[in-house]
């Protein structure tokens, strides 16, 4: 349904084969090039370290707490750094002192993959965790918004058509200037920063598709796709859009204090704060569990986590944690993450994720 669910960025077969043969020398790649040196870790460095998406972090923390409480392994450390910041830290090197997992609310980019390779992080496996919706939310007492993707683009793009074959800075200050049927309220959107996977998904699934509904942008895509992408993905930089950092909880708190503002955040944060904020409609469709699962809600995405395969024999419990993360009890339709707002993968997709996790566990892992 979503592309790229289970692709392995750099195949893990090499490290798994080495582990199966009882080999521990991972200093050379198949092409003879040297991997990054792995420094000996102090006991305090033996915990699983997880970085990345603020949207995925609450799920990882839930799994980590249960994992620490029900196994003999230490509770993993989870840091919310944003998807982009997470990949930067994840790709810094190999070894127990480095992050072993990167959470992501979008697939890894080629530039991030190359950053990993340059640092000797040559074996990475992508595993989907579940679905999430990108929600247009505001305070309970605020107006009800029902926005199309075209209206979102016209409200939030840096430049819009000038009616004479060119483009002009976005002049709209009020929602009813975009469409008279919308609330007569100032355009004020609290959103994630450029390093956020939520921001990337929002501009790709929302703004880009909204731009294509405008003839001038559709024509630009036909004539110059690079120029189209640049304009379609560029959010206005005036006071109508506020970069709010990698913290959806802080956005929720600010929405409560500013009833006329709307926020761009993950569905799970709407679920956890339903007593304080409400989700706006997208083309008449509510952001609900069912509408995201069945594909009717048009701002849905897959959440991922990326495993540093080279750390599996170096970090106690890493393989077991990966297996737990996609187990039926955690990520299945009746799993404990459902009450945290996770929208589970379809049965076949979850089964494939579990197969990948089991394959990783077949590699060498250290006991606590």
pLDDT band of residue 9 (cuts 50, 70, 90) is very low
First to last CA, the chain: 39
pTM score of the predicted model: 0.77
Give the Cβ contact number of residue 164 at 10 Å.
7
Nearby residues of 159 by Cβ (< 8 Å), 6 or more positions away = 167, 168, 169, 170, 231, 234
String of b and e for 247-257 (b: at least 16 CB within 10 Å)?
bbeebbeebbe
Q: Domain 8-131+302-361's class? A: alpha beta
* Residue 45 pLDDT: 66
- CATH level 2 (architecture), domain 133-300: 3-Layer(aba) Sandwich (3.40)
Residue reference for tokens 């249960």: 66
Quick check: 19 pLDDT over 60? Answer: no
Ordered DSSP codes for 228-274? HHHHHH-B--STTEEE--S-HHHHHHHHHH-TT-EEEEEHHHHHHTT
User: pLDDT tens across 275-302, in order?
Assistant: 999 999 999 999 999 999 888 999 998 9
pLDDT band of residue 2 (cuts 50, 70, 90) is very low
Domain boundaries of the chain, sorted by first residue: 8-131+302-361, 133-300
User: pLDDT tens across 212-224, in order?
Assistant: 999 999 999 999 9
* Residue 13 pLDDT: 35
The mean pLDDT of the chain is 87
User: pLDDT tens across 70-111, in order?
Assistant: 999 999 999 999 999 999 999 999 999 999 999 999 999 999
Spatial distance between the Cα atoms of 299 and 162, rounded to a whole number of angstroms: 28
Are 8-131+302-361 and 133-300 in the same CATH fold? yes
Quick check: 326 pLDDT over 50? Answer: yes
User: pLDDT tens across 342-356, in order?
Assistant: 999 999 999 999 999
What are the φ/ψ torsions at residue 259 (nearest 5 degrees)?
-60, -20
* Residue 4 pLDDT: 41
């Amino acid at each position: 349904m979503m592309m790229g669910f289970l692709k392995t960025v750099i195949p893990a077969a090499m490290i798994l084969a080495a582990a199966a043969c009882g080999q521990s020398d991972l200093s050379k790649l198949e092409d003879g090039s040297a991997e990054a040196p792995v420094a000996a870790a102090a006991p305090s460095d033996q915990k699983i370290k997880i970085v990345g998406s603020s949207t995925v972090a609450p799920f990882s923390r839930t799994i980590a707490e249960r994992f620490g409480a029900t196994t003999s392994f230490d509770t993993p450390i989870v840091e919310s750094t944003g998807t982009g910041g997470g990949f930067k830290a994840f790709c810094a090197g190999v070894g127990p002192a480095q992050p072993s997992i990167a959470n992501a609310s979008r697939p890894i980019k080629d530039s991030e993959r190359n950053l990993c390779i340059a640092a000797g992080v040559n074996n990475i496996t992508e595993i989907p965790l579940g679905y999430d919706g990108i929600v247009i939310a505001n305070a309970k007492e605020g107006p009800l918004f029902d926005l199309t993707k075209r209206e979102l683009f016209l409200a939030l793009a840096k430049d819009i058509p000038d009616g004479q074959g060119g483009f002009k800075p976005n002049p709209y200050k009020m929602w009813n200037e975009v469409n008279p049927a919308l609330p007569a309220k100032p355009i004020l959107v609290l959103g994630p920063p450029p390093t956020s996977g939520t921001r990337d998904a929002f501009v790709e699934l929302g703004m880009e598709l909204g731009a294509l509904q405008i003839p001038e942008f559709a024509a630009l895509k036909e004539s110059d796709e690079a120029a189209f992408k640049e304009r379609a993905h560029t959010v206005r930089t005036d006071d109508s859009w506020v970069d709010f950092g990698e913290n959806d909880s802080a956005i929720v708190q600010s929405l409560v204090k500013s009833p006329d503002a709307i926020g761009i955040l993950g569905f799970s944060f709407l679920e956890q704060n339903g007593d304080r904020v409400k989700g706006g409609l997208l083309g008449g469709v509510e952001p609900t569990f069912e509408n995201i699962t069945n594909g009717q809600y048009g701002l849905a995405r897959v959440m991922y986590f990326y495993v540093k395969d080279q750390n599996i024999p170096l970090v106690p419990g890493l393989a077991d944690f990966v297996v737990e993360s996609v187990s039926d009890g955690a990520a299945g339709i009746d799993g404990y993450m459902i009450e945290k707002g996770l929208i589970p993968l379809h049965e076949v997709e979850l089964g494939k994720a579990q197969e990948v996790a089991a394959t990783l566990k077949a590699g060498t892992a250290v006991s606590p």
